[in-house]
Amino acid sequence: MKINPKLKQDLKSFLMENIQKEQNRVLVSSADILGSDEKKALSGKKFPDLNWEDAEYRIDKSIIAGVIIKVGSKTIDLSLTGSLSKLSNTLYEID
């Protein structure tokens, strides 16, 4: 069965566009709702290179404090839970 080349190209363009959007999507998880000042602080001085226009904000009580920012497959963990986990791992490595 032959596939129409135009249809194949349209599908390829559509999939590439969706992959690009997903790789640039910013997902912010925090322990509580972030206020506009906190959102501006993240998007302005801290991480100005990220695409904040379509950022998605979620609440995750297990974080305790701070935020976790995910962009595509990259994760920036600025949470208290993440810091405590890193400290715990460091202490186990010392033993």
The mean pLDDT of 3-17, rounded to a whole number, is: 84
Number of domains, the chain: 1
How far is residue 60 CA from its own chain's centroid? 14
Which tokens is 69 given? 């920012």
Question: Considering only CA atoms, which of 59, 71, 67, 66 is closest in space to residue 33?
Answer: 59
Helix runs in 2-79, H state only: 5-24, 36-41
> SS3 for 25?
coil
Q: Model-level pTM?
A: 0.69
> Which residue range is the domain that position 78 belongs to?
5-94
pLDDT digits (tens, 9 = 90+) for 57-73: 999 888 989 889 988 88
